[in-house]
């Protein structure tokens, strides 16, 4: 096995490039959703904003990916669900606001930045009270990605649920 020493000029150039954050990044991050059925493990991938029709009672594992070749500074994920339950002529309107997760990133001690980061969330079960059955509902996840030049992208993923 042979090892070669990297010339000092090459090492210095590499370190210089690795330490400098981009001065300008005109392209905002891309957002990609991965929706995995918790029962079947079948996944679907969506770029940007998307809607998916689903069956009530199925839980989905949601992954929001934020991708930017110049580095990701922040990613957020929040959401809200609303659904209707019925019992004869009576109805219940239910809702669940979900907390907003925020992950702020910074360059490491060598100046390197992450170019991809993700946040995870599970879909809401949309439960009904005793004697009521699920009629319809939807859950919307809202995600953002921001790069170091403050370019920001927002995308939503809506799961429309039917019995």
Question: What pLDDT shows up at residue 44?
Answer: 98
Please report, for the chain, the start and end positions of each structural domain, with discontinuous segments joined by +: 29-162
State the distance between the two ends of the chain, measured CA to CA, in whole angstroms: 64
Neighbour tally for 13: CB within 10 Å: 11
Query: What's the pLDDT band for 1 if we cut at 50, 70, 90?
Result: very low
- Distance of alpha carbon 2 from alpha carbon 103, whole angstroms: 43
Asked if residue 19 lies in contact with residue 110, where contact means CB atoms within 8 angstroms, the answer is yes
- Distance of alpha carbon 150 from alpha carbon 116, whole angstroms: 16
Residue % of the chain over a pLDDT of 90: 83
Residue % of the chain over a pLDDT of 70: 85
Query: What's the pLDDT band for 18 if we cut at 50, 70, 90?
Result: very low
Beta strands 50-55 and 152-162 are parallel
Residue 127 structure tokens: 């439960």
Q: Enter the pTM of the model.
A: 0.84
On the question of pLDDT at 24 being above 80, the answer is no
124, with CB counted inside 10 A (0-12, 13-18, 19+), is: buried
| CATH number for the segment(s) 29-162 | 2.60.40
DSSP 118-135: EEEEEPP-----TT-EEE
pLDDT tens digits, residue range 90-117? 999 999 999 999 999 999 998 899 999 9
């Amino acid at each position: 096995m042979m090892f070669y020493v990297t010339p000092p000029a090459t090492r210095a150039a590499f370190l210089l490039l690795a330490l400098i954050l981009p001065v300008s990044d005109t392209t905002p991050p891309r957002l990609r959703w991965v929706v995995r059925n918790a029962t079947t493990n079948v996944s679907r991938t969506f770029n940007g904003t998307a809607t998916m029709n689903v069956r009530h009672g199925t839980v989905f594992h949601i992954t929001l990916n934020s991708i930017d070749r110049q580095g990701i500074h922040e990613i957020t994920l929040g959401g809200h669900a609303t659904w209707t339950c019925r019992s004869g002529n009576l109805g219940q309107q239910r809702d669940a606001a979900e907390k907003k997760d925020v992950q702020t990133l910074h360059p490491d001690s060598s100046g390197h930045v992450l170019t991809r980061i993700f946040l995870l969330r599970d879909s809401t079960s949309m439960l009904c009270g005793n004697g009521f059955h699920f009629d319809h509902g939807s859950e919307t996840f809202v995600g953002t990605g921001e790069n170091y030049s403050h370019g920001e992208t927002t995308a939503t993923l809506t799961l429309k649920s039917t019995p």
